[in-house]
Amino acid sequence: MATEKEVSGGLGLEWRVTVPEGSTVKMEPEPSWISSTWNRLVELGSKLRAKVSTFGKKVWKIGADSPRKVIHGAKVGGALTLVSLFYYLRPLYNGFGSSAMWAVMTVVVVFEYTVGGCLYKGINRAIATLSAGGLAVGIDWVASKSGEKWEPVILSASVFLLASAATFSRFLPTVKARFDYGVTIFILTFSLVAVSGYRVEELINLAVQRIATIAIGIAIALSICMLVYPVWSGQELHLLVSRNMEKLADSLEGCVEDYFVKSEITDAKESSATRLEGYKCVLNSKASEDSQANLARWEPAHGGFGFRHPWKQYLKVAAALRNCAYCVEALHGCINSEAKAPEYMKKHLRDACMKLSSDSSKVLKELSSSIMLMKRSKSIDALVGEMKNAVHELQNAFASLPNHLTQTTASSPSESTEGKKNSNISIADGVALMEAMPLMTIVSLLIEISARIQGVIDTVGTLATLARFEGIRNEKSSSKVQAEEQEDKALQEV
């Protein structure tokens, strides 16, 4: 390895030394061509080595960051090895014949990273195989009764119609979200059974064998997925929403702090960069939230989550949070824009702005830990009250700004007012107003963010009621009473 480097460093000269003596003369007419080719090869080799090493480091990082992904790989490998025993053990093989192939296929296709995904595919596959198989056998029977001429026509027509209708049904949002995989398997099974029925005599026998092997495949995949270090979609969603809320809180507080006390924290800037970008996670996580919520509905009770845990409400919380994140994004844009407010204005509003952002951030963090622990927060009302006070304080500080401005501009007019020094106060104010614009936008956005946090509070409150968070006996019982009242009403109407 080291010699390659030396060669590439020493150009063509050293290269000639390594060539067998007899060939040196022959190659002399075109040394530049050969040396350039060799150098290119060496370059390519070292580039390849560098790429492989970068790739290796990347892979290692993914594995080290989340060992669960490595475990998932081993789980799939284990499940496949287990299912391949069907081939090796003769008695089982004799029982199921070549249908054992379906067990392997089922494990490969059904085994997903999360339990929800595995259940979604397993249940979809089971239902689709059974319904499509039954339907196909029925149509086969009808076709076989209608004579040899009509049989292929009936079968082809049924394949065409059902496949077309089923494929179209995948465009319906509900079908797409819950049964997409099932529809594929339905078309597949129906086509295979309906078509092969024309040839194979013992259709029922084959169907039973195939269903049995598919069931074995699903059982192996599900049990390994659920019992060995399971990854639950529901829990992932729960953690994702809760963590995103904390990231947004950090990002909000951090960027306002950064703006007002920038000079003091230049050292720690790099480490805080990822912290500031937290809002981007919130903006970009819609797709993964949607898919986790879709899969979570298939999962049984696990951890603190019941079977009918209100996963959809998490999506509403996430949407309210994203609503805040849009404003935080605009705030970041404002803070990083070229137009800068003069220092004396920043000083005047600094404390009020930082108080509001810190209070807003505290509310979000409290909500985040309330979700994380599934407990109703005791201090949330006080924190919201403080946040509202901070809004009023900021508004007051803002209202006293012009008063402050006229004094300041009178004593030290800003540079851009050249040639207008002697004009009346209102024009000096006008220029000052222009300069204050980014700061005003920041103030306005901070107030808007605190208003949008109210939306997050509401959705989290509904989540707490629906998911029966600890410490909300009053709401729980009142909602129960309401439900009972509604039932009574329904009975009376009848």
List the interface residues with a copy of itself, window 201-230 (CB under 8 A): none
Q: Is 268 in the site for a copy of itself (CB under 8 A)?
A: no
Q: Is 403 in the site for a copy of itself (CB under 8 A)?
A: yes
In whole angstroms, how close is the CB of 149 to a copy of itself at the nearest point? Answer: 12
> Which of the residues 42 through 81 are near a copy of itself (CB under 8 A)?
58-59, 62-63, 69-70, 72-74, 76-78, 80-81
Q: Is 184 in the site for a copy of itself (CB under 8 A)?
A: yes
Find the Cα–Cα–Cα–Cα dihedral 139, 145, 151, 157, rounded to 10°. -30
> Out of 8, 144, 408, 444, which residue is the one contacting a copy of itself (CB under 8 A)?
444
Contact assessment for residue 134 and residue 242, using Cβ atoms and an 8 Å cutoff: no
Give SS3 for 368: helix
**How far is residue 404's CA from residue 442's CA, in Å, rounded to a whole number?**
19
Q: Is 234 in the site for a copy of itself (CB under 8 A)?
A: no
- The 8 Å CB, 24+ separation contacts for 122-128 are 122/218, 122/221, 122/222, 123/298, 124/179, 124/181, 124/182, 124/185, 125/181, 125/182, 125/185, 125/214, 125/218, 126/214, 126/215, 126/218, 127/182, 128/181, 128/182, 128/183, 128/184, 128/185, 128/186, 128/189
For a copy of itself, the closer CB: 184 or 358: 184
**Between vectors from CA 245 to CA 256 and to CA 389, what angle results, nearest 5°?**
55
Q: Is 84 in the site for a copy of itself (CB under 8 A)?
A: yes
Residue position matching structure tokens 């807003």: 360
For a copy of itself, the closer CB: 352 or 374: 352
In whole angstroms, how close is the CB of 478 to a copy of itself at the nearest point? Answer: 29
> Out of 284, 389, 482, 486, which residue is the one contacting a copy of itself (CB under 8 A)?
284
Contact assessment for residue 185 and residue 128, using Cβ atoms and an 8 Å cutoff: yes
Q: Provide the 8-state DSSP code for 305.
A: B
Instruction: Quote the tokens at residue 207.
Output: 């169907």
Q: Is 13 in the site for a copy of itself (CB under 8 A)?
A: no
| Segment contacting a copy of itself by CB under 8 A, of 35-43, 385-393, 456-464, 467-475 | 35-43
From 370, 363, 353, 369, select the one nearest 249 (Cα to Cα).
Answer: 363
> Which of the residues 341 through 360 are near a copy of itself (CB under 8 A)?
none
| Segment contacting a copy of itself by CB under 8 A, of 22-30, 225-233, 355-363, 445-453 | 445-453
> Which of the residues 304 through 323 are near a copy of itself (CB under 8 A)?
323
Residue 338's CB is within 10 A of a number of other CB atoms, namely: 5
**How far is residue 45's CA from residue 51's CA, in Å, rounded to a whole number?**
10
Q: Is 8 in the site for a copy of itself (CB under 8 A)?
A: no
For a copy of itself, the closer CB: 223 or 407: 407
For a copy of itself, the closer CB: 3 or 156: 156
> Out of 64, 399, 418, 422, which residue is the one contacting a copy of itself (CB under 8 A)?
399
Going residue by residue from 357 to 396, which x/- string records binding to a copy of itself, judged by CB under 8 A?
--------------------------------------x-
Find the Cα–Cα–Cα–Cα dihedral 465, 468, 474, 476, rounded to 10°. 80
Contact assessment for residue 355 and residue 484, using Cβ atoms and an 8 Å cutoff: no
Going residue by residue from 446 to 475, which x/- string records binding to a copy of itself, judged by CB under 8 A?
--x--xx-----------------------
For a copy of itself, the closer CB: 192 or 240: 192
From 360, 374, 373, 371, select the one nearest 451 (Cα to Cα).
Answer: 360
Residue position matching structure tokens 């003369």: 25
Contact assessment for residue 205 and residue 88, using Cβ atoms and an 8 Å cutoff: no
- The contacts of residue 208 (CB under 8 Å, 6+ apart) are none
Q: Provide the 8-state DSSP code for 266.
A: S
Q: Is 93 in the site for a copy of itself (CB under 8 A)?
A: yes
In whole angstroms, how close is the CB of 27 to a copy of itself at the nearest point? Answer: 18
Amino acid, single-letter form, for residue 339: A
In whole angstroms, how close is the CB of 369 to a copy of itself at the nearest point? Answer: 27
> Which of the residues 104 through 123 are near a copy of itself (CB under 8 A)?
104-105, 108-109
Q: Is 195 in the site for a copy of itself (CB under 8 A)?
A: yes
Rg (CA), the chain: 34
Q: Is 130 in the site for a copy of itself (CB under 8 A)?
A: no
Amino acid, single-letter form, for residue 286: K
Q: Is 41 in the site for a copy of itself (CB under 8 A)?
A: no
> Which of the residues 324 through 343 are near a copy of itself (CB under 8 A)?
326-327, 329-330, 333-334, 337
> Which of the residues 155 through 174 are near a copy of itself (CB under 8 A)?
155-156, 159-168, 171-172
In whole angstroms, how close is the CB of 484 to a copy of itself at the nearest point? Answer: 19
C-alpha 319: how far from chain center:
13
In whole angstroms, how close is the CB of 6 to a copy of itself at the nearest point? Answer: 18
